[in-house]
Amino acid sequence: MNNSMFKRFCIGLLAWVIAFVIFFPIFWMVLTGFKTETAAIADPSLIFSPTLDSYIEVQQRADYFKFAWNSVVISFGSTILALLIAIPAAYSMAFLPTRRTKGTLLWMLSTKMLPPVGVLVPIYLLFRDTGLLDTKLGLVIVYTLMNLPIVVWMLYTFFKDLPRDILEAGRMDGASTLQEVVYLLLPLTLPGIASTGLLSVILSWNEAFWSLNLTSSQAAPLTAYIASFSSPEGLFWAKLSAASTMAIAPILVFGWLTQKQMVRGLTFGAVK
Amino acid sequence: MATLQLKNIVKQFGDIQVIKGVDLDVNDKEFVVFVGPSGCGKSTLLRIIAGLENATSGDITIDGRRINDIGPAERGLAMVFQSYALYPHMTVEDNMGFSLRLARVPKAERRDKVMAAARVLQLEELLERKPKALSGGQRQRVAIGRAIVRNPSVFLFDEPLSNLDAALRVQMRIELARLHDELNATMIYVTHDQIEAMTMADKIVVLQKGEVEQVGSPMELYHHPRNRFVAGFIGSPTMNFLPVEFQDSTHEGVQVTLPGGKTCRVPVDGTGVSVATSLELGIRPEHLNLQEDGPLSGRIQVIERLGGATSLYVQMDTGMVTVIADGDVAHKVGDVVRFGFEPVRGHLFRDDGLALTSLHQHPLTGIDRQSNRAPVEGSHS
């Protein structure tokens, strides 16, 4: 075996190890979901007789589909809202920059460095007074605000990659700003917009801090659904695992289906 | 019908003035070329005309109508960009018809107009293709086609040929000149390439540092440059400059002492120049002739044989000069040669760069590109 083959082998091995380490908890969770409660807390074992009991019990205790629907509405709703706000913002930053544009972008990103819990109380009080507690609209608003910096930043980098000449040619051809955006900017940066949207959906889907604190029953998404199984009566590993598996399944499938788009979009600027 | 006037156009970015008060008249059906080194403001001036930039002050009028505050599309201009700026996601047909689509022109009419433009540019075969499936020259033609479809009163070109290879550039140059005749349109063309300027323009505007150095027909600029900058910029290879000393001035011209001590009378107006002032003599390489008894001499440093002509780079005491000699010249590197010139070919520049006015107008200065054409029988012009 020569040197470069050995190097490739090592890198390959390392990749597999990392992939396994990352994947193992998910694998174990799925497995535990099919165990009985006693088997779940017994010595870890790969050999057991699988059962759907936990799934049935979980479904009896809480309506999975209601939570799932909430998750869909909230994550897609907030993503659409974030894109609607971010596209014009990123357009003006990319094509009509001022001296303060760079600073504004940095400031927006810096808001992500603040721990969310720091603003929990004011937001909670605001939501209580405006009746937004435990509403889907409330979570849509919070998630939109939460993802907006990343969405604007990503769109900004995609838009900046678009040659200005093309938009100027459009302007010479008689396009209004809106037409410029609809006919030229959006079609040409669609891969970027799509991957930005996908990322926003995934981040919203997986968000737990705000959903746990701002919802109770009506608007609770799947993250709250999972949490509800770590109840005061004690931990039920099998049920918790079954619930978690059901909660992450849709986004896992969604992520898998859009994987190509995601990778293409996220590496769009770097490799062009 | 379209005439365009610029009146005292100023453009300021922050504290920096990039256009410093430009006045210009563009006549109907004229081919005007803005030329100058990079950063001279020629593209900015074009973008101000296009409406993509706002002038800080000054007026732009088309046919007497002030258009400063009118949007780019409503000005009735079309622009061809250096990068072509085709819409990558649209077919050639959609690219060319985009302006009509925005103007809500019915589909059938749109198609007719696109087809008509495609025919002029031989693009009929390519209408279904996307820009990335086209060669550079084809993209360029599509960009021009997109402009033609709009039927603009003035065409604006921003260095349209600089991304093409040399052979294609010559071809497109000829094509553009043909197009100008065929469309009978007013065109403004920006380039840094003085050959493009010389070959295509009816009128050349030489710009430097945001100011107009000279406006005139190609032959006027070549034979009567107003200052040292224009003299050096127009013509290739560049004009030679030699330090000379003013002796006297008569109605026949100015007598100067050449490097090496010989004298020469250049037919220019020397009024106001005092004796013993240092001047610069400008003489183009193609106007220097090898002569046994020539007043100038130097040692050949480099010889470039082009077949038809030979460029000799000659080291004089005062610096290097270029001489374009016959293709069959037998000299070798290191030879000392003597050369001279017809005094009427010489230019004299004061130390502020301004040329002394020539006493004789060159017979071709009034000629523009259009008058190079023989009148076509039955032609409307």
Query: Over the stretch A175-186, which tens digit does the pLDDT of each residue have?
Result: 999 999 999 999
User: Cβ(B18)–Cβ(B44) under 8 Å?
Assistant: yes
- pLDDT greater than 50 at residue A271: no
**Residue that is written with structure tokens 């799932």 in the block:** A68
Asked if A188's CB is within 8 angstroms of B150's CB, the reply is no
Nearest to B71 by CA among A48, A42, A180: A180
User: Which residues contact residue A232 at a Cβ distance below 8 angstroms, ignoring those fewer than 6 apart?
Assistant: none
* Residue range(s) of every CATH 3.40.50.300 domain in chain B: 4-229
Query: Over the stretch A80-122, which tens digit does the pLDDT of each residue have?
Result: 999 999 999 999 999 999 999 999 999 998 988 888 888 899 9
Q: Rounded mean pLDDT of chain B?
A: 90
Query: Over the stretch A129-155, which tens digit does the pLDDT of each residue have?
Result: 999 999 999 999 999 999 999 999 999
Nearest to A165 among B51, B83, B146 (CB): B83
> What's the pLDDT score for residue B1?
67
Nearest to B87 among A166, A172, A174 (CB): A166
> What's the pLDDT score for residue A270?
38
Please tell us whether the domain made up of B237-349 is placed in CATH 3.50.50.60: no
Which chain B positions have a beta carbon within 8 Å of A173's beta carbon?
A: 73, 98-99, 102, 146, 150
User: Cβ(A70)–Cβ(A211) under 8 Å?
Assistant: no
- pLDDT greater than 50 at residue B378: no
- DSSP sequence for A8-20: HHHHHHHHHHHHH
DSSP B64: T
Query: Over the stretch B147-188, which tens digit does the pLDDT of each residue have?
Result: 999 989 899 999 999 888 888 888 888 888 888 888 888 999
Beta bridge partners of B290: B339
Please tell us whether the domain made up of B4-229 is placed in CATH 3.40.50.300: yes
Nearest to A268 by CA among A166, A180, A164, A195: A195
* Residue range(s) of every CATH 2.40.50.140 domain in chain B: 237-349
Taking the C-alpha atoms of residue B140 and residue B114, their distance in angstroms, rounded to an integer, is 16
> What's the pLDDT score for residue A192?
87
- pLDDT greater than 50 at residue B283: yes
> What's the pLDDT score for residue B379?
42
Reduce the secondary structure of A209-253 to three states and give it as a string: HHHHHHCCCCCCCHHHHHHCCEECCEECHHHHHHHHHHHHHHHHH
Taking the C-alpha atoms of residue B248 and residue B261, their distance in angstroms, rounded to an integer, is 15
> What's the pLDDT score for residue B117?
92
- pLDDT greater than 50 at residue B377: no
Q: What percent of chain A has pLDDT over 90?
A: 47
Query: Over the stretch A194-223, which tens digit does the pLDDT of each residue have?
Result: 889 999 999 999 998 999 899 888 888 998
> What's the pLDDT score for residue B381?
40
Nearest to B89 among A165, A170, A187 (CB): A187
Nearest to B52 among A163, A171, A173 (CB): A171
Q: What is the mean pLDDT of residues B236-249?
A: 92
> What's the pLDDT score for residue B22?
94
> What's the pLDDT score for residue A39?
82
Query: Over the stretch B52-88, which tens digit does the pLDDT of each residue have?
Result: 999 999 999 999 899 999 988 889 899 999 999 999 9
User: Which residues contact residue A231 at a Cβ distance below 8 angstroms, ignoring those fewer than 6 apart?
Assistant: none
Confidence bin at B39 (pLDDT 50/70/90):
confident
Which chain A positions have a beta carbon within 8 Å of B50's beta carbon?
A: 172
Query: Over the stretch B96-151, which tens digit does the pLDDT of each residue have?
Result: 999 999 999 999 999 999 999 999 888 999 999 999 999 988 999 999 999 999 98
> What's the pLDDT score for residue A232?
63
- pLDDT greater than 90 at residue A238: no
Q: What percent of chain A has pLDDT over 70?
A: 95
Question: Which tokens is A155 given?
Answer: 């769109």
Taking the C-alpha atoms of residue B224 and residue B204, their distance in angstroms, rounded to an integer, is 13
Taking the C-alpha atoms of residue B147 and residue B117, their distance in angstroms, rounded to an integer, is 9
User: Cβ(B73)–Cβ(B150) under 8 Å?
Assistant: no
Does the reported pTM lie above 0.90? no
Asked if A171's CB is within 8 angstroms of B72's CB, the reply is yes
Q: What is the mean pLDDT of residues B258-275?
A: 89
Q: B368 CA to chain A: closest CA distance, Å? A: 30
User: Cβ(B228)–Cβ(B255) under 8 Å?
Assistant: no
User: Cβ(A175)–Cβ(A184) under 8 Å?
Assistant: yes
Q: Which domains does chain A have, with CATH numbers?
A: 63-227 (1.10.3720.10)
Residue of A nearest to B150 (CA): A173
> What's the pLDDT score for residue A1?
58
Say which residue, B240 or B377, is predicted with more confidence: B240
Residues in chain B: 381
User: Which residues contact residue B332 at a Cβ distance below 8 angstroms, ignoring those fewer than 6 apart?
Assistant: B300, B303
> What's the pLDDT score for residue A233?
63
Confidence bin at A52 (pLDDT 50/70/90):
confident
Q: B151 CA to chain A: closest CA distance, Å? A: 11
